């Protein structure tokens, strides 16, 4: 990826004064429950609620939040980004969406695709 680290807007994806991302906020934005979100990011459902798992959850949520932030920047708002994430097939991936690819552990491929779109490769 050619860009610097994407700043994740903590106020949109955080919870109060906690330095960690909020699984609840991400789940709400995507319109999924916490069990579905846990499956998407590959952590146990109980880990999402445990304070001891905050760093692990943060690391697992980070790629999803980066994708949503980048897509939101390009689409104009978070809701459009969430709809794209769940429903829009990505060219070259046999009808798979960003959600599908993240679920398969390929968040890096989605980020690379978004970077290419932002650079004008798919324009």
Each residue's pLDDT tens digit, 30-74: 999 999 999 999 999 999 888 777 889 999 999 999 999 999 999
Of the chain, the percentage scoring pLDDT greater than 70 comes to: 83
Q: Whole-prediction pTM value?
A: 0.83
How far is 41 from 99, CA to CA, in rounded Å?
A: 10
Mean pLDDT, all residues of the chain: 86
Burial 13-46 (b: 16+ CB within 10 A, else e): bbeeeeebbbbeebbebbebebeebbebbebeee
Those residues with Cβ within 8 angstroms of residue 108's Cβ, 6 or more apart along the chain or in another chain: 63
Each residue's pLDDT tens digit, 16-41: 566 788 899 999 999 999 999 999 99
How far is 123 from 105, CA to CA, in rounded Å?
A: 26
């Amino acid at each position: 990826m050619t860009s610097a680290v994407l700043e994740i807007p903590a106020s949109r994806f955080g919870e109060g004064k906690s330095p960690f991302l909020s699984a609840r906020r991400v789940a709400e934005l995507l319109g999924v429950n916490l069990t579905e979100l846990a499956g998407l990011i590959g952590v146990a459902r109980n880990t999402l609620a445990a304070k001891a798992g905050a760093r692990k959850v943060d690391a697992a949520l980070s790629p999803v939040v980066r994708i949503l932030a980048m897509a939101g920047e390009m689409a104009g708002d978070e809701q459009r980004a969430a709809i794209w994430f769940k429903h829009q097939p990505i060219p070259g991936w046999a009808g798979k969406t960003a959600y599908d690819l993240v679920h398969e552990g390929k968040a890096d491929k989605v980020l690379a695709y978004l970077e290419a779109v932002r650079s004008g490769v798919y324009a």
